[in-house]
Amino acid sequence: MVKINKIYTRTGDDGTTGLVNGPRRSKADLRVDAYGLIDETNATIGLARLETVSDLDKMLEEIQNDLFDLGADLATPEQSENKTDLRVLSTQTKRLEDEIDRLNEKLSPLKSFVLPGGSKASAFLHLARTVARRTERTIVALSKQENVSKDVLGYINRLSDFLFVAARYANDCGKNDVLWVPGKNR
């Protein structure tokens, strides 16, 4: 159980932060940036939840909890021997895939790219999708330097897919999608 008594500790005033284990790292470290972007992704999903309906809102709530698991996973480098470390599991990615399939069944196939917008919920979900993609790029860069779980990589990749489908679903099952018209303003 997490217990937080004090918000500030002053230990980061020198520009470093502590991971779950190991030596302190610079706040500009790629691993710290990766789990910071997970937090940013989570916050943008929180904005989207202000505008979503119950079935989609429940899915997003589960994702927000998953993102805390993902952040904990990234904050605990894999060389840890502790079997109780919180790790993202493939079952979490599988749940996302099942939800993508369930939402996608209600959508008609696309004939063009979708412009972000249509409804507030959809616009916020597209914003969350782009932040998730940026987060993924940072996690992939980290994985080229240090060990990152394949389940972390799979989850963050699938998350942006989910957010795209969810954005279409929030647009009255795609009926209010705004489609890109190539060369429209030439």
Residue 135 is predicted with a pLDDT of 98
Tell which wins on pLDDT, 38 or 81. Answer: 38
Give the closest residue to 23 by CA, choosing from 62, 68, 77.
Answer: 77
User: With contact defined as beta carbons under 8 Å apart, do 24 and 16 qualify?
Assistant: yes
pLDDT (average), residues 118-135: 97
Helices marked H in 7-149 = 30-49, 54-74, 90-104, 120-143
Instruction: Give residue limits of the domains in the chain.
Output: 28-76+89-174
**Cβ density class 63-93: b for 16+ within 10 Å, e for less:** beebbebbbbbbbbbeeeeeeeeebbeeebb
CATH of 28-76+89-174 given 1.20.1200.10, 3.10.129.10, 3.30.70.100, 1.10.10.10: 1.20.1200.10
Looking at residue 116, what DSSP letter applies?
A: S
24-69 residue pLDDT tens: 876 778 999 999 999 999 999 999 999 998 899 999 999 999 999 9
Residue 59 is predicted with a pLDDT of 97
pTM of the model: 0.90
Give the closest residue to 113 by CA, choosing from 62, 153, 164.
Answer: 164
**Which range, of 77-81, 116-120, 129-133, 138-142, averages the lowest pLDDT?**
77-81
**Cβ density class 149-175: b for 16+ within 10 Å, e for less:** bebbbbbbbbbbebbbbbbbbbbeebe
Looking at residue 14, what DSSP letter applies?
A: T
